[in-house]
Amino acid sequence: MADTDEKEVVAAEDAKAPETAASPETPREEPKEPRARERRGRSARRTSARPPRARSEFDQRLIAIRRVARVMAGGRRFSFSAALIIGNRKGKVGVGLGKAGDTTQAIEKAVRDAKKNLITVELGEGGMIAHDVSAKSAASLVSIMPAPGRGLVAGSSVRPVLELAGISNTVAKIHSGSKNGLNNARAAIEALKKLKA
């Protein structure tokens, strides 16, 4: 009787043993952080492979930016026209016009056009011009005169032309009633071309 009881106990222990072996304690998995947070951290650390763009020697001033349209068979096609002035404030100045499908491209084209049309101005003491000059471009008539001790007195788009050329102690007058900034700037450039050292 005792033998049979021992056999039953051993059989019962053998039956329990595989269950415990089959289900060992599994280690708890750590909760994963969301991938979006990982990505955000990675992008913050990423550095650009492109070298920093060298700063241009020319300052630029936008005169006008307009949306223009041309009529096509299917309707109107819109683009942007940008007019700007560039100069290094040391005697070099130019006016450019650019047209493209978006404003940034139009401005880039205008800068390239202005660099093609750069002029060099001979500056006297204190950034003053040597003598009176006047010129006409389309309907704009501009005259520029030296004025010792007065600073720069000019209006419309003639002022940025003179500032970016590095001219001071000068008075500029627009004799026409033209409100067209591009024509006024071009007239100022034409007048500066007439300067003689």
The CA distance from 117 to 87, in Å, is 11
Contact 96, 86 (CB under 8 A): yes
Residue 5 lies in a domain: no
Check whether residue 68 and residue 115 sit in a common domain: yes
Query: Which CATH number belongs to the domain containing residue 100 in this structure?
Result: 3.30.160.20
Residue 122 pLDDT grade (very low, low, confident, very high; cuts 50, 70, 90): confident
pLDDT score for 176:
85
* Overall domain count for the chain: 2
Residue 19: pLDDT over 70: no
Residue 45 pLDDT grade (very low, low, confident, very high; cuts 50, 70, 90): low
Residue 124 pLDDT grade (very low, low, confident, very high; cuts 50, 70, 90): confident
Of 13-17, 45-49, 175-179, which has the strongest mean pLDDT?
Answer: 175-179
The CA distance from 11 to 6, in Å, is 9
Q: Write down the H helix ranges in the chain.
A: 2-22, 35-45, 103-116, 158-165, 181-193
Taking residues 129-156, what's their average pLDDT? 89
Positive or negative, the CA dihedral 67, 68, 73, 75 is positive
pLDDT score for 87:
92
Residue 148 lies in a domain: yes
Residue 166: pLDDT over 60: yes
3-state secondary structure of 57: coil
Residue 191 pLDDT grade (very low, low, confident, very high; cuts 50, 70, 90): very high
Taking residues 31-36, what's their average pLDDT? 58
Domain boundary among the residues 104, 119, 134 is at: 119
Domain boundary among the residues 72, 98, 119 is at: 119
Residue 189: pLDDT over 90: yes
Burial class of residue 79 in the structure, from the number of CB atoms within 10 Å of its CB (0-12 exposed, 13-18 middle, 19+ buried): middle
Domain boundary among the residues 67, 91, 119 is at: 119
Check whether residue 133 and residue 188 sit in a common domain: yes
Domain span at residue 91 reads: 59-119
pLDDT score for 31:
59
Region of poorest pLDDT, from 18-32, 37-51, 75-89, 109-123: 18-32
